[in-house]
Structures are given as C-alpha cells and as structure tokens.
A = this chain, B = another copy of it.
C-alpha cells in the first residue's frame, strides 16, 4: 500500500487535553487558516468564520461556558468555528436581493458540514506541525452567552471550538467501530447488532486495562447514556436568535 506522510498524520490523530505554555506562533496560525480557507465549500459560499482567542480572561470565560473545560484556558489559543451567513446577508444587500437560504434546514446542514470540512483541515495542519488539538462541542452548551461574549452578528452561529497548543503529553488512541459497521457497499446493511456487540467488548477491554478495572462500560452503554437526552438543549434557541428558521 502506498501510505504516505499525510495518511500517517491523519491516522495518528488524538485529542490532547494537557498543554505546555509554549505559544502557537503567527506563522503556524497562518498555515492553519490558509488550510481552513482551502477546504471545499458548498456553492463557493465560504460560510465558515474562525475567531482566534488568545486573551486569557476571554479563554477563562469560554472554559466556563463550555462546561468547565480547563484546557480551553490553559492552551495558548482557542479557535471558535462558526457557520456564517452574515457575509451572504451583506452580499444580498449589495445586490438588492433577499437572503432566503437561512429560512430553511438546508442552511444549517450546509453550514455545519462546511465547518466540519474546514476544521478537519485545521486539525490536519496543526497535527502535521506537531501541535495538539481537541475539538470542543461544548461551545453549544451556553451558546447565547458565547454569542454575546464574542459579538457574533445575525446569521452566524458557533458550531465547534478547537483548542490548539503544544502537547504536554500524548493521550492514547481509542479503537474505532469495526470498519464493516461504517463502510457499506452498494446499499445500507442494517445487520449491525453483532458488530456493535463486538465493539462493546473491544472498548470494554481497552478501558478496563487503562483504568485498572475502574471503567469497563462498552460503547453502546456509553452512547446510550449520553443520547437518552438532548445534552445541548439551547441549540434551537440559539439558531432562532441568530435569525434562522427550519423550513
């Protein structure tokens, strides 16, 4: 197989939650942001904005708003990835058109997907520069306060944060679902119960070993205990507040 440096970097991805105090320099940030902009974008709409935060007080506030995640304040830089139709709004005004896309679910899907693509590029470049990262879904925990704090205008909403810095130590790589469960050929195959049970055993063994028996729940137990409620219930309110509708 012709594996290569890029492939190895992606396969080596892991979440880092402990950072040294070495800063991320402007050149590194520029490479990351160049890659953010190089990601594919639906209709070339470029509906992604990144706010980079280095101010300690702001990072501390964000650490709190995201559900008390200390690495947000500890790491040198926090990136907020937003889906952004505010520029589309300005574009519409400049051309005396109405902005209608934000009335429909389509805009939510496109915005989030494009953020994922852009953030994936940011992560890949950061890790290729030997920086560590951890995505922060917790930006959807108290999104209205975050919007206020960072001055997000209408038609912009936070999708994910990304902590970036120099790793103080490397975490382990958790095993993933058996590939047959996520890669289907020609048609969706709903026969998945056995694969989930197999993966439960893998995760259970993995955790048992790493925690000296303190944690050994399987994947299905963990996921079902997190998905038996809407754990970020403010998301709809945030979208309405920012001007979106769900037609």
Q: Is A233 an interface position by the 8 A CB rule?
A: yes
Nearest CB in chain B: distance from A79 CB, A: 9
Kindly identify which residue among B1, B101, B230, B247 contacts A101, using a CB–CB cutoff of 8 Å: B230
Per assembly, the copies of the chain total 2
Q: Is A65 an interface position by the 8 A CB rule?
A: no
Query: How many residues does chain A have at the interface if contact means C-beta atoms less than 8 Å apart?
Result: 123
Contact at A91–B52, with CB atoms within 8 Å?
Answer: no
A193 cross-chain contacts in B, Cβ below 8 A: 90, 94
Q: Give Cα distance in the complex from A223 to B99, angstroms.
A: 10
Contact at A15–B40, with CB atoms within 8 Å?
Answer: yes
Closest 5 CB pairs of A and B: A116-B116, A120-B120, A91-B220, A112-B112, A104-B230
A contact residues vs B (CB 8 Å cutoff): 1-7, 9-11, 13, 15, 27, 30-31, 33-40, 42-46, 48-55, 58, 84-88, 90-92, 94-95, 97-101, 103-121, 123-125, 128-129, 135, 137, 140, 150-153, 156, 159-160, 174, 176-177, 179, 181-188, 190, 192-193, 196-197, 219-233, 235-236, 239, 246-247
